[in-house]
Structure 1
């Protein structure tokens, strides 16, 4: 059995070993966390080696699981988590390989390779290696593309998996497709009412002089109400008085049935946002209605991406697009953050929102957005509509005046796309809007979407009732793996394009505007993959003023460090002849020390006309234990008013809440501040039918509960006397956790994406003969709702058969490489296996029942093999190990 484990890259271990190992892992976090999980397709040339492999992509680099990766490549490398090592051989037994984490070294064919703790880590039941270390140990070259979620492999020597792929290709040629991963779509229908989930944040601040003392709170609630998803928010000002209230009823359905017979992918009522047109009216908030039948995660090259979401008191959020830092927000507005006109690359984009609590806690939300031509299928109509009273909420509290960007006026926007042919789509739009301090106006747009070779093309014209006219042309392509997106617009008659001019102040309207953006990645020194983005914009106003600005951003791991840097150029010429030209930049660096201490630092500087450092900061985050963290920081401002701020925070992360204490000191003035923040959530547990105190985030995203049990009567329903199954690991986008002794686990923080996949892994279950059904479930997370995955498991058997060739004289001998099948007496899955060199066949996961043994028909027919006599195998309800006896085979020359 140990030899089999080695061949499949899995170390034989007891349940106790796994528990101990998991405890060690939890106490010693590595260069990534569960939030860094990225499911990647593994490809080699035209072949797909794996539809999905668990990869962790963090600032420290891209890490692949050695055990899982070895199985994909058919390599005999075993991982032994309890011993913190892996060993085996590559291609041939004389090419031995071993990896020893304790010693920090690996050997391959007698050659020793030293590596650091940032290159290898035991996580779960596997050994994760950074791609540069994998390339030193195996004859492969790896190119990870995190934005496209593809790991491209090039073998520098022939490997066993290539022979397997050739066989699969031959099978495909015979009309037999490779087996794909089974995914179960789990429906969570909207209900009349569900117990809502709550997130609560409470914060207080004390100061030396008592002037700026504050006490704030915000509460979020979410659940189902009136067969829609309900979201509510109440927030206070610094005096503890309610200042913001929001409510929303919404429905979403990626399949386009959000409103039943009326269709739609998303519909909402309450405090909503209008859709944006490709030219003219941008997206704005207000009380009203919204409807869309467009795909939830698709955008065309002319429609801006506006990201909005919930932001708690004291939180900061950073926006990464294809692993390049693009922006940050530090102060919530009405409890929300907002990133407008997010730059995207042509094709699939990975959007990461990294949230930082004021005391070191972090969480992450990942979205995948396809940025393309905006074409729809021939004959299909896509419609978007929004009508709001701009700048006003359903419930108005406080007496704050709206800003120039929040004009209280009606705003109506409607847009449609219709597929004329497979390669051409017509688009039209209507809007009535009030742009800033200008007069209200109505406008119409008409456009075409298409493609030419590998490029996406788009054109739109617009007219308003004030005599304004606009024309916008766009193109996007991806030569040599580099995304290029360009757009040019011309305006006449005072036309106001909010999509190119965020809001309208007293500046003159635009006459023309041009944008160009390039995104790609290149291989730097030491095979480091560096993602780079570059964009430049030029606008010309009707009064003759011009503005040219550009930005170059790059992020990459450099040894043990992860660096992000940007260079900014601005050249503004005003109508009165004055102007400003400057170059500026910023650099941020982060690194891990001893796996528990993270250091971050950065500088912002002017390059010209006056070279100087504007500000600098440094922070140290020390993970004292699983439940406690300490942050120390210093910020130095070097502008006209030099200032030094010292900061310290202590976080206590309990099972169901976060409690943080923080303090700051201004060196020049002697001022100090001390604060406290408490964050927690209340979520309804449908299994226990009661509320439970949980970590914050349960009301701003979906949750999942898994119920795993031994289904002894095979009816698919859990009876009161049927025991739960512990240690079924539930791998959700937000986190991974095992089921408890009752077979249940509750995971929150799934966010609000169109869909999310949850994987169940039963390898850690004590009973090796327990097996469940499909292990991958696709759900539709909704704020405040808990999707329930019932996972009945049955005891199975490992069936041993001995295949023997019977000669003419009646003598028998073992027969190797014979494909044997177990066919269930009733309907069910046919199980297959191949005899080994001794003629022994092991068939796993056989469920209770009666099976007929047969030879695989194609092989039997080709070789003229048949059974001497029928063979029947009975798997008892208790499962276990079943000796099926001998399978006598004869070969008839005439049949061959």
Structure 2
């Protein structure tokens, strides 16, 4: 029986040869290309890893893995060998492709078989083989473009990250500027066709005993992203609750940070289909719909002086939370239109780190981060930026069912130009035409932005043709640990826009943001006070105080708001005070999120509304959700 306990060496070599021949049948192609970020525990490694989807799963480029994990391994393609050691000097590693063997402390000497694929980038190794060689588990997460590394011990590069983190806390950091060129990047040429990445979201329901509703219903959303005819595209197809086709949303676009699009226009962004316009200073809000857009502005540049808007994809059954500088400030449930939208997010002087956290019905978590600096983003002297766009508001490319349409789907257009005068001063001009409050309105506006030390000042004015005008002054700055904003606006004639109400004569306000030190912790506080005088003589005072606490897995945000309105010609005086709470935490398998609003003062006091949602993962294939 001992003769059958292990294969003969010749049989092992034959088995390895068969696996190698099978691997040789797979060929690398652009449609299977992957670009994954390594994640281990709470750490996200800076250097991404290239790879491919293969007939056996996923393979990763060995050179990228070595570089990302900072391993002392030398890879020599000429001699077809890789030698060195892994996470300790006694963990030697020898890979010899000429003899078809690999030798490590974890596996001893073993045949390579079909574990390595030759690709244009180099040697692509199956993740199962990497896990066996390195003694850590490589788990590709293609949905989130990650490769998760799992181990029960601290590895040298993890210890190095912790040492650098401790050192950074001890030394005084010098002021650094954001330089995108220092980040890893990979250039890929556009192709006439690149197979799309698909994502299908399906929901079903069975209803019993409720009159007026279908007993069985369902909804499907299909998302696709890829390349066609030399452009990138993103598409969304959705049905209604009875599985009838409802909308098709399609966006075709090209982005080039080097301004190489459309020849003499030197555009950085060109898009048709589902597009988004740029917001004006005092006229039209940013909107989405079917249309066209072109600009040479830096990608991601904000147009509003003291606020920004974030939009993105929100599949069915998902919800989103918004964090500013680590503080939970807003959330949004699934609205059925496939988008999340956070409008007019207040910005403060300095760096504003915004993060949208998306939660899926099966426990998925996705994060989208952006940074909006204020005070350091002036246009270079002599540089001119422009934008132009036209769209039909809130209208998808093809809309088969109009039952859920609540806003007028009217056309709007706008153009704008900005120019830097010197290192601290820029000017902007723009025009917009839109449908608002039952009428077509056309505006012209202009603005001057000036940086004064640790403060940025904006003077803006707008004119509505045939109606009136409005002027506004804004200042953002910092005094010690306090960020502040001062604003004032005055209206002339019958000016009305999406930023200026028709009944306001003038208004002024003050906003501050700071953190209170509580031992080793800090408590962020934002305060706001606004005073307005309406055209009928009514005085309006509004004040709010907001704080947020994040401790471990718990995030809580609270806002106390007060509104006092004096008696006017048409309405009596009224005073309202409300407390709003947002909370998010995780308890074992359970994730709890909720919000509540209490009326503390007003015609009716007490709890106005509350919502609690619980999600739990039962196993890899099952989950439960309740609200």
TM-score above 0.5? yes
Offset of 1:258 from its aligned partner?
Answer: 4.3
Residue from 577, 594, 609 that aligns with 1:583: 577
Q: Match of 1:197, SS?
A: strand
Q: Which has the larger radius of gyration?
A: 1
Mark the CA change 1:620 to 1:448 in structure 2 (over 3 Å): closer, same or farther: closer
Match of 2:506 in 1: 512
When the two structures are superposed, what TM-score results if normalisation uses the length of structure 1?
Answer: 0.48
Question: 1:598-617 residue pairs with structure 2 within 5 A?
Answer: 603-609=596-602, 612-615=606-609
Offset of 1:345 from its aligned partner?
Answer: 1.8
Offset of 1:602 from its aligned partner?
Answer: 5.9
Please give the per-residue CA displacement for 1:484-518, whole angstroms capped at 9, x wherever unaligned: 123222111111231355xxxxxx44322334332
Offset of 1:193 from its aligned partner?
Answer: 1.8
1:237 matched to 2:272: no
Match of 2:480 in 1: 480
Q: Which has the bigger relative contact order, CA under 8 A and spacing at least 6?
A: 1
Count of residues in Structure 1 that have an aligned counterpart in Structure 2 = 477
Mark the CA change 1:248 to 1:558 in structure 2 (over 3 Å): closer, same or farther: closer
Question: 1:743-892 residue pairs with structure 2 within 5 A?
Answer: none
1:531 matched to 2:520: no
Residue from 559, 564, 567 that aligns with 1:571: 564
Distance 2:529 2:248 in 1: 39
Mark the CA change 1:491 to 1:191 in structure 2 (over 3 Å): closer, same or farther: farther
Match of 1:371 in 2: 374
Asked if the contact 1:301/1:371 (under 8 Å) is kept, the reply is: no
Offset of 1:597 from its aligned partner?
Answer: 5.4
Match of 2:128 in 1: none
Distance 2:601 2:541 in 1: 16
Asked if the contact 1:375/1:424 (under 8 Å) is kept, the reply is: yes
Residue from 508, 511, 515 that aligns with 1:521: 515
Distance 2:325 2:486 in 1: 19
Distance 1:431 1:186 in 2: 38
Q: Match of 2:480, SS?
A: helix
Distance 1:408 1:597 in 2: 41
Mark the CA change 1:182 to 1:285 in structure 2 (over 3 Å): closer, same or farther: closer
Asked if the contact 1:591/1:598 (under 8 Å) is kept, the reply is: yes
Mark the CA change 1:491 to 1:198 in structure 2 (over 3 Å): closer, same or farther: same
- Higher mean displacement: 439-448 or 192-201: 439-448
Asked if the contact 2:349/2:455 (under 8 Å) is kept, the reply is: no
Match of 1:125 in 2: 155
Residue from 525, 541, 545 that aligns with 1:552: 545
Asked if the contact 2:430/2:444 (under 8 Å) is kept, the reply is: yes
1:414 matched to 2:415: yes
Mark the CA change 1:481 to 1:229 in structure 2 (over 3 Å): closer, same or farther: farther
Mark the CA change 1:477 to 1:186 in structure 2 (over 3 Å): closer, same or farther: same
Match of 2:107 in 1: none
Match of 2:436 in 1: 435
Q: Which runs of 5+ in 1 are unaligned?
A: 1-32, 41-66, 69-78, 81-120, 143-150, 156-161, 166-179, 502-507, 629-649, 652-660, 665-896
Offset of 1:215 from its aligned partner?
Answer: 0.9
Asked if the contact 1:277/1:303 (under 8 Å) is kept, the reply is: no
Offset of 1:596 from its aligned partner?
Answer: 5.2
Please give the per-residue CA displacement for 1:459-492, whole angstroms capped at 9, x wherever unaligned: 1121121131111111111222332123222111
Match of 2:495 in 1: 495
When the two structures are superposed, what TM-score results if normalisation uses the length of structure 2?
Answer: 0.67
Match of 2:465 in 1: 465
Mark the CA change 1:238 to 1:181 in structure 2 (over 3 Å): closer, same or farther: closer
Offset of 1:201 from its aligned partner?
Answer: 0.6
Mark the CA change 1:256 to 1:196 in structure 2 (over 3 Å): closer, same or farther: same
Mark the CA change 1:291 to 1:514 in structure 2 (over 3 Å): closer, same or farther: farther
Mark the CA change 1:355 to 1:450 in structure 2 (over 3 Å): closer, same or farther: same
Q: Match of 2:436, SS?
A: coil
Mark the CA change 1:662 to 1:564 in structure 2 (over 3 Å): closer, same or farther: closer
Distance 2:459 2:570 in 1: 34
Offset of 1:265 from its aligned partner?
Answer: 2.6
Match of 2:456 in 1: 456
Asked if the contact 2:221/2:236 (under 8 Å) is kept, the reply is: yes
Please give the per-residue CA displacement for 1:135-162, whole angstroms capped at 9, x wherever unaligned: xxx9x999xxxxxxxx64359xxxxxx9
Offset of 1:346 from its aligned partner?
Answer: 1.6
Asked if the contact 1:488/1:514 (under 8 Å) is kept, the reply is: yes
Q: Which runs of 5+ in 2 are unaligned?
A: 1-38, 47-68, 71-86, 89-150, 175-179
Question: 1:146-161 residue pairs with structure 2 within 5 A?
Answer: 152-154=169-171
Match of 1:314 in 2: 317
Please give the per-residue CA displacement for 1:254-286, whole angstroms capped at 9, x wherever unaligned: 333344542223221112122111111222233
Mark the CA change 1:392 to 1:361 in structure 2 (over 3 Å): closer, same or farther: closer
Mark the CA change 1:546 to 1:288 in structure 2 (over 3 Å): closer, same or farther: farther
Q: Match of 1:290, SS?
A: strand
Distance 2:368 2:375 in 1: 22
Distance 1:616 1:470 in 2: 39
Please give the per-residue CA displacement for 1:588-647, whole angstroms capped at 9, x wherever unaligned: 555555x6555666654232246534455666655556x26xxxxxxxxxxxxxxxxxxx
1:424 matched to 2:425: yes
Mark the CA change 1:442 to 1:621 in structure 2 (over 3 Å): closer, same or farther: closer
Distance 1:402 1:319 in 2: 26
Considering only aligned residues, what root-mean-square deviation do their CA atoms show, in Å?
3.7
Distance 2:43 2:488 in 1: 38
Mark the CA change 1:476 to 1:241 in structure 2 (over 3 Å): closer, same or farther: same
